[in-house]
A and B are shown apart, each in its own frame.
Chain A
Amino acid sequence: MNDAGNGTGGNGATPTSAPAAGAEPVVVFEDVSIGFEQKPVLENISFQVHTGEMRILLGPAGVGKSVLLKLVNGLLRPDSGRIFVFGKEITAMREADLFELRGSIGTVFQEGALFDSLNVRDNVGYRLIEERLPDDEIDARAEEALRFVELDHTLDKFPSELSGGMRRRVAIARAIVTNPKLILYDSPTGGLDPITSTTIIQLVMKQRDVSHTSSLVVTHRIQDAFILAMHRFNRTTNQMEALPAHHTDPNTTFLMLHQGHLVFDGTTKELVHSNDAFIKEYIS
């Protein structure tokens, strides 16, 4: 299996991602630990996400993947360690300053987390409404984002009128409407049927290959992770297609959590050939 990336990662918690040449990391975790009610959840986590890179965070359910994602956009604060996003140390920032920073981060929550009292247009254009942009501009940008997820006919519908898959797609539209520099996906396919999951993964891939946005994708579905690593989005056919045999996407790399520790940080090839018993069992 050829990995076109220049990742040098392997087992262990060393921050060894596959950076684009000369690019400054978008996200840096330095020895981050967090616990709840005196129980450690994440311990000494260190890794980086570089510009244009997609990092897929794997791990069994309940290992702290969503917690890690919430640490990235400052929804949770670590007990120790430092987190840098776009070069700013968010662990030292006030909540009021974090609101501004979050304007450059799109987040897709586990169940979509759409505002159930707002229709699809207002959900997708929420941030634009908050910025008090003219209605015409909000309409145009919300429609454009919804067209990306192929749901531009649902503008006036409410979340309760949408299926689970459609809600996830609207959540993706809401996350990309402001063209963020970083997107966080929290189990975007969790609880969905295989066909809908593939549609969502295709959208995640489309965002990666068309907009080249840095992203951190949390999932416990290994098949979704490998689809992302071994396929690319074809703009001409508007479909994803498999990469040539033994090739993987160079900008897609992996992180794996186990029992609160980062047990893997590296490329697809390194993941597949890992000798770690847990990783072997997980990906088998």
Chain B
Amino acid sequence: MALETIDAAAKRGVLALQDYALLSARAVSDLFRRPFYRSDIYMQADIIGVGSLPIVILTGFFLGGVLALQSAATLTQFGAAAFTGQLVSFSMIKEIGPVVTALMVSGRNASGMASELGSMMVTEQIDAMRALGTDPLKKLVMPRIVATVVMLFFLVIISDAVGISGGGFVSVFMLGQDSSQYFHTSYQSLEYPDVLQGLVKPIFFGFIIATIGCFYGMRTRGGTQGVGRSTTQAVVWSSILIIVCDFMISRFMIGIFGR
């Protein structure tokens, strides 16, 4: 009995993974097939990118600030408070900026995608779309993937900049550090591999957010309860995958560039 349960669960897991891979592959290949839904991409970019801007700016600023607060307290013990800027910029650009921005966007948009597509599934709107001769993967999934990947890339850059500014604000106005020293150490210590690492991550994270959100949306069953379940699963799994993917990219980049 227990073996049967494990067997069934394993089969369900493998099947879900296969469905996810197929959905992602088909949606990506739809990029190169006509018709190309340009206006849908712009609309999604507005919803995902511009719509997420306030939360990304707010969280970025206060994260940078709290990083400066915490690191300065420790660095002062070693007489190295002057390196606060370096620590904040390193952390923001390589790790915190991409990961926290992705988690914020995931919470806002993976859930949004799962609930929107899930509602369309349970009200037969997706079937209606297919019956009207439109491929829902092309019309609904592909634009969301493109928009999320592109907009998350820019959101992370904004988050990094705002986070470093937030750290600067705290360092200068609350900790009494010199502003030119803070910003000087911030950018002087950065090297291209650091920036590259920070810019590669949002591309993968954006892909994860959009594909997971759409995947759970498109496999929604069971009315409004099913929509709720899909929304929760989308946020949980995209968050987990973002953190796992972050570790793998970091390890890979450190392996290549040595930092």
Interface of A with B (CB < 8 Å)? Answer: 70, 73, 75, 95-96, 99-100, 102-103, 105, 107, 109-111, 113-116, 126-127, 130, 132, 174
Contact = CB atoms under 8 A, between A and B. Distances in A.
B128 A102 contact: no
A132 B35 CA distance: 10
Contact of A103 (B123, B129, B133): B133
A109 B132 contact: no
B131 A105 contact: yes
Interface of B: 35, 123-125, 127-135
B125 A115 contact: yes
A114 to B, nearest CB: 8
Nearest to A102: B133
Residue among B125, B128, B129 with most chain A CB within 10 A: B128
A188 to B, nearest CB: 14
A215 to B, nearest CB: 14
Contacts of A73: 131
Contact of B127 (A70, A99, A126): A70
A96 B130 CA distance: 10
Contacts, number: 50
A109 B125 CA distance: 9
Contacts of A109: 124, 127-128, 131
Contact of A127 (B35, B124, B132, B135): B132
Contacts of B129: 115
A135 to B, nearest CB: 14
A111 B132 contact: no
Residue among B35, B125, B131, B134 with most chain A CB within 10 A: B131
B133 A130 contact: yes
B52 to A, nearest CB: 20
A111 B133 contact: no
14 contacts: A95-B135, A96-B135, A102-B132, A107-B131, A111-B123, A113-B123, A113-B127, A115-B125, A115-B128, A126-B132, A127-B133, A130-B133, A130-B134, A132-B35
B132 A75 contact: no
A102 B131 CA distance: 6
Given A96-B135, A127-B133, 14 more contacts: A75-B127, A75-B130, A95-B135, A99-B130, A99-B133, A102-B130, A102-B132, A107-B131, A109-B128, A109-B131, A113-B127, A115-B128, A116-B125, A130-B133
The 10 closest A-B CB pairs, nearest first, are: A113-B128, A113-B124, A107-B131, A102-B133, A99-B133, A103-B133, A109-B124, A127-B132, A113-B125, A75-B127
Contacts of B135: 95-96, 99
A254 B123 CA distance: 28
Nearest to B116: A117
Contacts of A127: 132-133
B128 A107 contact: yes
Residue among B35, B123, B134 with most chain A CB within 10 A: B123
Nearest to A105: B131
Nearest to B37: A130
A70 B126 CA distance: 13
A119 to B, nearest CB: 15
A96 B35 CA distance: 12
A130 B124 contact: no
A75 B125 CA distance: 12
Given A75-B131, A99-B130, A113-B128, A130 B35 contact: yes
A95 B131 CA distance: 11
Contacts of A95: 135
Contacts of B131: 73, 75, 102, 105, 107, 109
Contacts of B123: 111, 113, 116
A246 B129 CA distance: 42
Contacts of A111: 123-124
Contacts of A132: 35
Contacts of A126: 132, 134
Contacts of A110: 124
B124 A99 contact: no
A102 B124 CA distance: 16
A127 to B, nearest CB: 5
Contacts of B132: 102, 107, 126-127, 130, 174
A132 B131 CA distance: 18
Contacts of A130: 35, 132-134
B129 to A, nearest CB: 8
A102 B130 CA distance: 8
Nearest to B134: A130
A275 to B, nearest CB: 38
Contacts of A105: 131
A107 B35 CA distance: 22
Contacts of B133: 99-100, 102-103, 127, 130
A115 B127 CA distance: 11
A166 B131 CA distance: 20
